[in-house]
């Protein structure tokens, strides 16, 4: 397989789809089982790969990479049988006695392009959905997390038949070459900038796409929030993975009245995050330089602010900003820096939100139902989590995805199954009756009958 060209590999996968190599429930469960066993048996190697890539602590690798994939597999082992069953739907009165069903038809051969920041999670969770959907799959992990890409390659190549799942490692140039081929769906996770390229390429062949992109997810506090608990959660989510999380709380908006309590809680909490060897470092020098340059603004660093270019370490940092024009508000930070704005009125929230609308996630810290509802209603986002951060991704019954610049389409659990299948409508007509009124010649009598029938059904 190593010596095959990209298009030969794709041909193999297409043949595998035609030959129904991952079609029946039994086949799909078998392939999910192979993946589950491989992940469990190679847990240590996966943890070491991520540690080598960006010093990700083993605990975080287990919590945010290994466990979510195993949990997704478990979800499908339990539910796939039901998802695959054709779903009977109600038939409108005027079509009776016909009947209708929805079939979940596998899409075909799909391409999954992963990002580096959760290199196991973001390649294997879509893979689980694609297999569960009955597809054959080409996987392209990110080249930036080199060791993780290699272990994913080792796992995939050693367990899957080459006409069911294949993997190609490489950068944007390789991805461009891959995109010359025709796929039945493209599932992309990564930056908005590259997302636009993928979307254009897909449009040339009218290929459906899912774009899981990034953005600036705000954490909006209300003065009713249980401050200590909420700040603890906020900091955990911000500094997880060295801040390199697509749904990390990017910036926080805190009522001015809570400023001194907020800072004093941060002072107590931040000490748990300052142990250098327990923090992920920034993945490469380019991102390190980009992130540290954001600190050159007119703001006040309250905690942290230390960095070392050689080791690519940036200490967990909390910065007070004074307006929406601060450098830290100019782009997704994707690093362990939390800008905080202490707001006077709710119009400040709108100002900050409107600077970067449609975030991937929006976090509300509040015990006030009225405030929470108002924020949900007025500020569109991919998803919302109330009184916590990031954990909504673990809820298999909640679809995960963005809107606007944070992407479109969604996945996880049943949403993944829907993404990787086509809903085929099937209506069945009976043969024991065939009312004549719809056929030619169209007489006045037939028109009157049709109108009466419709009036009866719709109670005009």
> Which residues are part of the catalytic machinery?
212, 246
Of residues 108, 214, 237, 243, which one binds ligand NAD by CB under 6 A? 214
204 in contact with ligand NAD (CB under 6 A)? no
Instruction: Enumerate residues 169-198 that contact ligand NAD by CB under 6 A.
Output: 171-172, 175-176, 189-191, 194, 197
Sign of CA dihedral 420, 422, 423, 427: negative
Structure tokens belonging to residue 295: 């600190």
For ligand NAD, the closer of residues 304 and 407 by Cβ is 407
Query: Count residues contacting ligand NAD (CB under 6 A)?
Result: 28
Contact window for ligand NAD (CB under 6 A) among 78-86, 109-117, 152-160, 372-380? 109-117
For ligand NAD, the closer of residues 16 and 190 by Cβ is 190
CB of 66 to ligand NAD, least distance (A): 17
CB of 119 to ligand NAD, least distance (A): 9
For ligand NAD, the closer of residues 53 and 320 by Cβ is 53
Q: Answer whether 432's CB lies under 8 Å from 117's CB.
A: no
117 in contact with ligand NAD (CB under 6 A)? yes
Q: How far apart are CA 302 and CA 300, in angstroms?
A: 6
70 in contact with ligand NAD (CB under 6 A)? no
Burial 225-251 (b: 16+ CB within 10 A, else e): bebeebbbbbbbbbbbbbbbbbbbbbb
Burial 352-370 (b: 16+ CB within 10 A, else e): bbeebebbbbbbbbbeeee
Of residues 113, 127, 337, 389, which one binds ligand NAD by CB under 6 A? 113
DSSP for 90-109 reads ---GGGTT-EEEEEEEE--E
For ligand NAD, the closer of residues 119 and 255 by Cβ is 119
For ligand NAD, the closer of residues 143 and 182 by Cβ is 143
At 24, is the secondary structure helix, strand, or coil? coil
122 in contact with ligand NAD (CB under 6 A)? yes
Q: Answer whether 212's CB lies under 8 Å from 361's CB.
A: no
Give how far Cα 449 sits from Cα of 213, 314, 343, 443, Å. Answer: 54, 77, 66, 10
Q: What is the layout of strands, in order, in the sheet containing 87-89?
A: 87-89, 99-106, 421-428
Of residues 10, 130, 213, 329, which one binds ligand NAD by CB under 6 A? 213
142 in contact with ligand NAD (CB under 6 A)? yes
Q: Answer whether 188's CB lies under 8 Å from 178's CB.
A: no
CB of 359 to ligand NAD, least distance (A): 10
At 329, is the secondary structure helix, strand, or coil? helix
Instruction: Enumerate residues 359-388 that contact ligand NAD by CB under 6 A.
Output: 360
Q: What are phi and psi of 382, to 5 degrees?
A: -60, -50
Of residues 72, 269, 332, 414, which one binds ligand NAD by CB under 6 A? 332
Of residues 212, 250, 320, 326, which one binds ligand NAD by CB under 6 A? 212
Of residues 57, 68, 108, 114, which one binds ligand NAD by CB under 6 A? 114
At 5, is the secondary structure helix, strand, or coil? coil
Instruction: Identify which of 406, 367, 358, 361 has the alpha carbon closest to the alpha carbon of residue 384.
Output: 361
Provide the greatest CA pair distance for the chain. Answer: 87
Instruction: Enumerate residues 239-268 that contact ligand NAD by CB under 6 A.
Output: 246
Q: How far apart are CA 46 and CA 436, in angstroms?
A: 67
DSSP H or E run through 423: strand 421-428
Instruction: Identify which of 194, 157, 202, 166 has the alpha carbon closest to the alpha carbon of residue 7.
Output: 166
Q: Considering just the CA atoms, what is the radius of gyration of the chain in Å? A: 26
274 in contact with ligand NAD (CB under 6 A)? no
168 in contact with ligand NAD (CB under 6 A)? no
In the stretch 414-443, what mask flags binding to ligand NAD with x, by CB under 6 A?
------------------------------
140 in contact with ligand NAD (CB under 6 A)? yes
For ligand NAD, the closer of residues 117 and 135 by Cβ is 117
For ligand NAD, the closer of residues 133 and 214 by Cβ is 214
Contact window for ligand NAD (CB under 6 A) among 34-42, 43-51, 209-217, 291-299? 209-217
Residues forming contacts to ligand NAD in the complex (CB under 6 A) are 113-117, 122, 140, 142-144, 171-172, 175-176, 189-191, 194, 197, 212-214, 246, 332, 334, 360, 402, 407
């Amino acid at each position: 397989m190593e010596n095959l060209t990209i298009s030969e590999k794709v041909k193999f996968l297409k043949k595998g789809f035609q030959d129904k190599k991952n079609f029946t429930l039994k086949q799909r469960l078998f392939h999910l089982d192979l993946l589950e066993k491989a992940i469990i048996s190679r847990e240590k190697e996966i943890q070491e790969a991520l540690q080598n890539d960006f010093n990700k602590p083993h605990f975080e690798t287990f919590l945010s990479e290994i466990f979510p994939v195993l949990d997704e597999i478990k979800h499908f082992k339990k539910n796939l049988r039901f998802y695959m069953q054709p779903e009977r739907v109600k038939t409108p009165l005027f079509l009776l006695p016909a009947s209708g069903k929805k079939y979940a038809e596998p899409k075909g051969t799909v391409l999954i392009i992963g990002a580096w920041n959760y290199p196991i999670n973001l390649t294997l969770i879509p893979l689980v959905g694609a297999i569960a959907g009955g597809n054959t799959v080409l996987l392209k992990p990110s080249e930036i997390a080199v060791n993780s890409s290699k272990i994913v390659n080792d796992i995939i190549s050693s367990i899957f038949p080459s006409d069911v799942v294949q993997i190609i490692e490489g950068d944007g140039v390789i991805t461009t070459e891959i995109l010359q081929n025709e796929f039945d769906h493209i599932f992309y996770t990564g930056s908005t900038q590259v997302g636009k390229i993928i979307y254009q390429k897909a449009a040339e062949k009218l290929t459906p796409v899912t774009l899981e992109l990034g953005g600036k997810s705000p954490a909006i506090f209300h003065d009713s929030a249980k401050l200590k608990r909420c700040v603890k959660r906020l900091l955990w989510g911000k500094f997880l993975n060295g801040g390199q999380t697509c749904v990390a709380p990017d910036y926080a908006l805190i009522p001015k009245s809570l400023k001194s309590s907020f800072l004093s809680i941060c002072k107590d909490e931040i000490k748990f995050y300052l142990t250098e060897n327990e923090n992920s470092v920034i993945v490469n020098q380019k991102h390190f330089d980009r992130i540290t340059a954001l600190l050159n603004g007119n703001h006040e660093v309250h905690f942290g602010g230390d960095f070392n270019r050689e080791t690519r370490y940036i200490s967990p940092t909390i910065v007070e900003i004074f307006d929406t024009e601060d450098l830290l508000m100019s782009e997704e930070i994707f690093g362990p820096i939390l800008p905080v704005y202490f707001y006077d009125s709710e119009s400040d929230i709108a100002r900050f939100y409107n600077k970067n609308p449609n975030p991937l996630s929006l976090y509300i810290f509040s015990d006030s139902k009225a405030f929470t509802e108002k924020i949900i209603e007025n500020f569109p986002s991919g998803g919302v989590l109330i009184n916590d951060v990031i954990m909504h991704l673990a809820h298999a019954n909640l679809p995960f995805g963005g809107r606007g610049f944070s992407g479109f389409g969604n996945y996880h659990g049943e949403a993944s199954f829907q993404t990787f299948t086509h809903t085929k409508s099937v209506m069945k007509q009976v043969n024991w009756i065939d009312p004549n009124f719809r056929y030619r010649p169209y007489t006045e009598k037939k028109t009157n009958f049709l109108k009466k029938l419709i009036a009866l059904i719709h109670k005009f």
